[in-house]
Structure 1
């Protein structure tokens, strides 16, 4: 069998480390996952994603570059096996909650017929496809589209409950999320043990009483899009949080307040105006000098 040639590029170090695994099957699985992750994801590059807009480091100039070129900078495409494993676990958690809500007939949104490939909206679990009459087993949930075409914003919520007039968001909480978003909260529960300093998971989860800040900003933007552009009444968002270390669950409710999203809507409108005139905006973090996000596009052009 001819030896495989691995070319340089994003993820090469991770890929080569997988090849050195003591167990060949484990190494092959890691390489398979990294190969798959290197393929085009299908994630739209012609819209502003709410998940990016709500981050504190969101750069207007980087967003302008991406919309104009419709590509991601190379740095954003780099990944690791651990990161892909985290994403996969998140997908499984989403599927679990959506399946339970589907079984209850409490999940509204888009549905995709695997038989005729049509997508249609239904306020509850459909008994069959309205286009080809395929049975329920041929239909999969396709979540809740939330788009503002004039502002080039496009996203999806995890679910919608017509009974509750509420969007649904499904989240997993791990130590990595807390280290990134609420390090001061995590540090409060670190204790000294014979094995070093570790978090007290029981107390930490007991005192976790609200969604993470980025998640709150994201659902506020989702609700703005639902109410103003999708004619979908959303008075609140219901969160389901799974705690990774113990598999315990909590539920939170966030009430709609459109004042949260107005600055983001104004920023999106400004970026669209700049696209129409082919005039790059200033970096909103570092002016003419640029920040790491927008400078990535310049590096890709070299």
Structure 2
């Protein structure tokens, strides 16, 4: 059997740290998770992802290079056990809510048969596979595809309820999310303690959390645009379900569709696709001719 090769840098450091764990089983499970994270994720590199497009630091030039090369920039895709643990917890939360909506008959989207591999659309929970007639127990919810092929945009929403005319987005809220997206909000609820210094007042923080995080709102506006214009879905809003990690409490919010929000992003995607077709890189929209950290990560290839 060929031995596994671990690349240097961040991934190697994480792997070696796991090897030094005092409890062998703890070290082994960390190495197992990092091993899996080092394998190809299956994430498409030939499309623009809405989750990237809505970020304030989205670089059009970096997007051009990734589409043209069908590859991430060198150094991208680094992981850690904590990061993979967060992702896995997010997947479990998605499955929980999707199962509940499916049981209610309120979940439309793609379903995948684990027996024959067929993926098909259904407006509610199917009783069996459309292809091989395998029972419901063999089917996995594959979410809601949102693609704009002419613009090379591809993404997925967490769910869709035709009865409610709404996309569904499932989120977990932790202190890390607030620290990154709304640090001023988090700071408002930090209190000084004798034993632990400044800590967040979780009760008051959760009480006053009254709207989805900004990036999530921008992303769902783009999802709704794609759903209405390219997937022929009847959508007028997105319903968010936020699970608070600290207490397992939940809040729900609705965001009404606003077409004007997504138009600049659609225009940018069209311009990037034109540049790829012409094999001419656009200027960096964040830092002009000099470029930003994202596009400078790519090596120019003639």
TM-score (normalised: structure 2): 0.96
Q: Aligned equivalents of 1:295 and 1:44: distance in 2?
A: 21
- Tell me, which stretches of 5 or more residues in structure 2 are unaligned? none
Offset at residue 298 of structure 1 (A): 2.6
Corresponding residue for 1:100? Answer: 100
What secondary structure is seen at the aligned counterpart in 2 of 1:11? Answer: helix
Offset at residue 76 of structure 1 (A): 2.2
The equivalences for 1:134-213 within 5 A come to 134-194=134-194, 195-213=196-214
104-113 or 210-219, which deviates more: 104-113
99-108 or 211-220, which deviates more: 99-108
The equivalences for 1:13-162 within 5 A come to 13-162=13-162
Residue 247 of structure 1 pairs with residue 218 of structure 2: no
Offset at residue 75 of structure 1 (A): 2.8
Measured against aligned partners, the alpha-carbon deviations of 1:174-213 in whole angstroms (never above 9, x if no partner) come to 0000000000000000000121100000000000000000
Corresponding residue for 1:256? Answer: 257
Offset at residue 290 of structure 1 (A): 0.5
State whether residues 113 and 138 of structure 1, in contact with CA within 8 Å, keep that contact through their aligned partners in structure 2.
yes
Structure 1 runs (4+) deviating above 3 angstroms are 2-7
Offset at residue 3 of structure 1 (A): 9.6
What secondary structure is seen at the aligned counterpart in 2 of 1:274? Answer: helix
- Count of paired positions: 299
Q: Aligned equivalents of 1:173 and 1:35: distance in 2?
A: 27
Offset at residue 9 of structure 1 (A): 4.4
Residue 219 of structure 1 pairs with residue 220 of structure 2: yes
What secondary structure is seen at the aligned counterpart in 1 of 2:198? Answer: strand
CA RMSD of aligned residues (A): 1.5
What secondary structure is seen at the aligned counterpart in 2 of 1:215? Answer: helix
Q: Aligned equivalents of 2:80 and 2:117: distance in 1?
A: 33
3-12 or 158-167, which deviates more: 3-12
State whether residues 170 and 241 of structure 1, in contact with CA within 8 Å, keep that contact through their aligned partners in structure 2.
yes
Residue 237 of structure 1 pairs with residue 264 of structure 2: no
CA, structure 1 residues 9+230, in 2 after alignment: closer, same or farther (shift >3 Å)?
Answer: same
What secondary structure is seen at the aligned counterpart in 2 of 1:269? Answer: helix
State whether residues 10 and 77 of structure 1, in contact with CA within 8 Å, keep that contact through their aligned partners in structure 2.
no
Q: Aligned equivalents of 1:294 and 1:242: distance in 2?
A: 35
CA, structure 1 residues 7+49, in 2 after alignment: closer, same or farther (shift >3 Å)?
Answer: closer
What secondary structure is seen at the aligned counterpart in 2 of 1:237? Answer: strand
TM-score (normalised: structure 1): 0.96
Q: Aligned equivalents of 2:203 and 2:74: distance in 1?
A: 40
Offset at residue 10 of structure 1 (A): 4.5
Offset at residue 85 of structure 1 (A): 0.4
Q: Aligned equivalents of 2:74 and 2:29: distance in 1?
A: 24
